[in-house]
Chains A and B, each alone.
Chain A
């Protein structure tokens, strides 16, 4: 497997005093399921958004699928973005529109301005939307308005929209942070399934370390804008978690193997 994404020495400075990312480097292979974990404010969202240039990195190189991301012009950038699906904590759907319409938004980047603006889709595109909705278990909700859905269903619509792009990679920014454990599990299982059966690379920001440990092929730990861990979940130790989360680690209460982290109070 070759590297699909190569991030090298990427830094991002907000204003004059906030260094959100400091010389971050890592690479992601095709089909890999990679979690990014780290405390709040570590720079996880910033990192994800630098990859599809929703935020422009201050320095460094990012190569995705053989193209150098920072130097792309507007048109090339749109093309790049069609190859990368994005999933958000707050779903970011158009509530007034139906599930089907929202999922079909994934095709906008491939269409002419007019056809896209008017929402004219080909039969093939609609067919694919129906198939994806049935995979995600939303066949019955197809024509419901999105504001009538539960959080878990909304997130599945978000995934559907991203999948309709036929992306090479999914960027997920805390997709389960607003969901209950049950809905979270359904979403994570879908993402894992997408990764393994469709071969789509997944780069996901997570708050919950246990979930990252359970689902990931690899974990990247970020702290204060720097990569402090980059390796498989099995090799992760308590020290690593303390290094990532600092003093917060004690409140996390995570089981790594048979050693307990932060169980001083848990007993």
Chain B
């Protein structure tokens, strides 16, 4: 009652009361509510899924044990039966070649498209059109692009190269154009004011200013493309180590050979990662 008669004091008291209750760090918004509901439903669905799986009488313990046993065979007793060491190296090189080729082709096309997509280098219309097309290309997964091109080129290396290149273009164009847009527009303004042409500004300012991003994005895409190239060897018959992996696992059921191949792929992946780190370090200082 007293509160209603002295609203000013009531407000103060409320504030004090709120202090004593828990202080919220974030306001509770509609957005937060949606995110939380989604997460909780996902958790519930996962739990529900585990209980309703058809396990075909495989017990969790037995299944895990035999999986570990298989892993043991795979990784501790690797051997060569259908190919030699040097043949495996050759196949890895083919897979790497596929990754290099698609990254390179994709990178060159993406550089051009990235320049057109950057709003500070072209105009809004061109930028929006390019960005729209690129977003569409990116939304379709790489494997699907390969399968789409397989309709015309037949399942094989040609479809793999075109499909992988296609998706690389989508990915790299976005990455490049965003690095271009992030650069200091003052530099572009300065060269424009000195009478320089568009291409001169691109080569003398835009690319030098964003070379670090260009290289690291390209390398990241190269690593992705290596993984995809392995998968494409198996799924699209593009050859390389992926095809051997497919044959060893799905055709010969040779776990030991799968282990060998996995070691090969792992080695290359680690080497790639190390090279990438080296290059980035060099770019930072040079």
Q: Contact check, B187 vs A93: say whether CB atoms are below 8 A apart.
A: yes
A216 at the interface (CB under 8 A from B): no
A262 at the interface (CB under 8 A from B): no
When distances are taken between beta carbons in the complex, the residues of chain B under 8 Å from A94 are: 187, 204-205, 208-209
Contacts known (A94-B204, A96-B211); A78 close to B187, Cβ less than 8 A: no
B69 at the interface (CB under 8 A from A): no
Task: Report B149-195 residues with CB < 8 Å from chain A CB.
Answer: 184, 186-187, 189-195
Q: Contact check, B200 vs A116: say whether CB atoms are below 8 A apart.
A: yes
Q: Contact check, B195 vs A82: say whether CB atoms are below 8 A apart.
A: yes
Q: Contact check, A81 vs B193: say whether CB atoms are below 8 A apart.
A: yes
A14 to B109, CA, bound (A): 37
B203 at the interface (CB under 8 A from A): yes
Contacts known (A94-B204, A117-B200); A161 close to B194, Cβ less than 8 A: yes
| Most chain B Cβ neighbours within 10 Å, of A95, A105, A113 | A105
Q: Which of under 10, 10 to 19, 20 to 34, or 35 or more describes the interface residues of A?
A: 35 or more
When distances are taken between beta carbons in the complex, the residues of chain A under 8 Å from B189 are: 54, 88, 92
A97 at the interface (CB under 8 A from B): yes
Q: Contact check, B209 vs A96: say whether CB atoms are below 8 A apart.
A: yes
A158 to B37, CA, bound (A): 56
Task: Report A84-111 residues with CB < 8 Å from chain B CB.
Answer: 84-86, 88, 90, 92-97, 101, 105-106, 108-111
CB closest residue in chain A, given B206: A94
Q: Contact check, B186 vs A92: say whether CB atoms are below 8 A apart.
A: yes
Q: Contact check, B204 vs A117: say whether CB atoms are below 8 A apart.
A: yes
Contacts known (A96-B208, A97-B208, A117-B202); A90 close to B197, Cβ less than 8 A: no
When distances are taken between beta carbons in the complex, the residues of chain B under 8 Å from A96 are: 208-209, 211
A102 to B187, CA, bound (A): 11
When distances are taken between beta carbons in the complex, the residues of chain B under 8 Å from A78 are: 195, 197
Q: Contact check, B184 vs A113: say whether CB atoms are below 8 A apart.
A: no
Instruction: Please report the total number of B residues contacting A with Cβ < 8 Å.
Output: 21
> Which of A93, A108, A118, A119 is within 8 Å of B194, CB to CB?
A108
When distances are taken between beta carbons in the complex, the residues of chain B under 8 Å from A81 are: 192-195
Q: Tally inter-chain residue pairs, CB-CB below 8 A.
A: 86
A204 to chain B, nearest CB (A): 15
A81 to B197, CA, bound (A): 11
Q: Contact check, B199 vs A105: say whether CB atoms are below 8 A apart.
A: no
Q: Contact check, A85 vs B194: say whether CB atoms are below 8 A apart.
A: yes
When distances are taken between beta carbons in the complex, the residues of chain B under 8 Å from A185 are: none
When distances are taken between beta carbons in the complex, the residues of chain B under 8 Å from A29 are: none
A56 to chain B, nearest CB (A): 13
Q: Contact check, A82 vs B187: say whether CB atoms are below 8 A apart.
A: no
When distances are taken between beta carbons in the complex, the residues of chain A under 8 Å from B196 are: 105, 108-109, 116
A54 to B194, CA, bound (A): 10
When distances are taken between beta carbons in the complex, the residues of chain B under 8 Å from A108 are: 191, 194-197, 200, 204
A46 at the interface (CB under 8 A from B): no
CB closest residue in chain B, given A97: B208
B251 to chain A, nearest CB (A): 52
Q: Contact check, B203 vs A105: say whether CB atoms are below 8 A apart.
A: no
| Most chain A Cβ neighbours within 10 Å, of B187, B189, B194, B199 | B194
Q: Contact check, A119 vs B199: say whether CB atoms are below 8 A apart.
A: no
Q: Contact check, A117 vs B199: say whether CB atoms are below 8 A apart.
A: yes
A155 at the interface (CB under 8 A from B): no
A11 to B260, CA, bound (A): 75
Q: Contact check, B187 vs A118: say whether CB atoms are below 8 A apart.
A: no
Contacts known (A78-B197, A90-B186, A94-B187); A105 close to B192, Cβ less than 8 A: no
A171 to chain B, nearest CB (A): 8
Q: Contact check, A105 vs B204: say whether CB atoms are below 8 A apart.
A: yes
> Which of B184, B202, B203 is within 8 Å of A92, CB to CB?
B184
| Most chain A Cβ neighbours within 10 Å, of B204, B209, B211 | B204
A226 to B204, CA, bound (A): 38
A106 to B193, CA, bound (A): 10
Task: Report B186-231 residues with CB < 8 Å from chain A CB.
Answer: 186-187, 189-197, 199-200, 202-205, 208-209, 211
For this complex, 13 residue pairs linking A to B, each with C-beta atoms less than 8 Å apart, are A52-B193, A54-B192, A78-B195, A80-B195, A86-B193, A90-B186, A94-B204, A94-B209, A106-B194, A109-B194, A109-B195, A113-B200, A165-B194
Question: What 10 A-B pairs have minimum CB-CB distances, sorted nearest first?
Answer: A109-B195, A108-B196, A92-B190, A92-B186, A81-B195, A116-B200, A117-B203, A82-B195, A86-B193, A78-B195
List 5 other contacts, CB 8 Å, given A80-B195, A101-B204, A165-B195: A54-B189, A81-B193, A85-B194, A88-B190, A92-B187
